[in-house]
Amino acid sequence: MTTEGTSFVHLPDAWYAVAIAKTLRSTPRSSTLFGQPIVTFRDASGRPSTLLDRCPHRNVPLSLGRVVEGRLECAYHGWQFDGDGTCQVVPGLCRVATSRGRTATAFETREQQGLIWVWGVPNAIPTTDPPSFPHVGEAGYHTVYDVVEAQGTLHAAAENALDVPHTSFLHRGLFRGGKARNEIEVVVRRFSDRCEAEYIGEPRPSGLVGRLLAPGGGEVIHFDRFILPCLVQVEYRLSERSHLFVNTALTPLSRDRTRLFAVIAFRLPLPGFLVAPLVRPIARAIFAQDARILRAQHETISRFGGEQFHSTEVDALGPHILHLMRQAAKGGSSTATEEPYTRRFTLLT
């Protein structure tokens, strides 16, 4: 199967993560979404708001300013804006400041499960709630947050995050890649709003770590999942007490740059305070290798003026993710009751 063109798909009618909630304090935070500069800040009550990062007066980025009495103040002339974009102060002006033409463009903003979410269309009323993450905040689970950035489309980052075969090569040593070769049965299912790959027969990791995490041995339960338009989930269940659930919310900063907000929930036989400090460094070491490849992939695609991919059956989810995104862009989401598409193959690892 060959894919051509570019894998960027514009799906603005959705929630996208813009910040880890606890890192957003009184300083305005600049970002981009689909290439548009935006600025997120907390008002006097701590409620987050997001505006287009451009002062309506002289087009200076509002993110250069500061928050004054819960309003975002432009650094150039001191105009002040409410969270909904209304201009409340024009210094020097003797008349009322509020005026339609002076209103900054605003985006709906929500705080949920430790992330700040922004609705992708300005001045619009969201039709859904931000996605919720399984097991985050659940008794017995620890949660670690992290954010990283990749060059390339949201699709390229999502495929990479859910791809198993590359782990033995790119992450040799850190991840898979031992001598013993196993045959794993993979079941791929595509529903109307998501697709998943279930790995059946994957053995427990060998060595000390495997024995600590799953003292009884046995097989791993492993699911990889993509949920429209931006959510990626990787789930490993090694035993009743060992459960790792990696949620990643992908944000299309632009057509070719993607930010990944990882929310990692886990329950282990080991004490959380021992494990938690290791999660972020290990995840970052793995991601640094992915980021290098994604950048090189992006540069090559740019140089050739488009993607020219050739997939095999072991590319479990990438083509399905693109299919789902393109279907969604056409607006034709199928009904939820529809029978899922299913295929099976054997993966050699």
The binding site for a copy of itself (CB under 8 A) comprises: 2, 35, 37, 53-54, 56-61, 64, 73-78, 90-95, 101-102, 163-166, 168-170, 183, 293, 296-297, 299-301, 303-304, 307-314, 345-349
Looking at the Cβ atoms of 61 and 126, the one nearer to a copy of itself is 61
CA distances from 62 to 65, 79, 143, 289, 301 (A): 6, 10, 33, 35, 34
CB of 72 to a copy of itself, least distance (A): 13
Looking at the Cβ atoms of 193 and 315, the one nearer to a copy of itself is 315
Residues in CB range of 301: below 8 A, 6 or more apart: 6, 152, 307
Longest dimension (CA), the chain: 79
Looking at the Cβ atoms of 35 and 216, the one nearer to a copy of itself is 35
CB of 294 to a copy of itself, least distance (A): 9
DSSP labels for 210-261?
A: HHHH-TT--EEEEEEEEETTTEEEEEEEEETTEEEEEEEEEEEEETTEEEEE
DSSP labels for 136-186?
A: TT-TT-EEEEEEEEEES-HHHHHHHHH-STTHHHHTTTTSS--S---EEEE
Looking at the Cβ atoms of 64 and 270, the one nearer to a copy of itself is 64
Looking at the Cβ atoms of 160 and 251, the one nearer to a copy of itself is 160
CB of 286 to a copy of itself, least distance (A): 14
CB of 101 to a copy of itself, least distance (A): 5
CB of 349 to a copy of itself, least distance (A): 7
Looking at the Cβ atoms of 22 and 343, the one nearer to a copy of itself is 343
CB of 11 to a copy of itself, least distance (A): 21
Looking at the Cβ atoms of 19 and 316, the one nearer to a copy of itself is 316
Contact call for residues 87 and 99 (beta carbons, < 8 A): yes
Residues in CB range of 99: below 8 A, 6 or more apart: 87
Neighbours of 63 (CB within 10 A): 22
CB of 126 to a copy of itself, least distance (A): 24
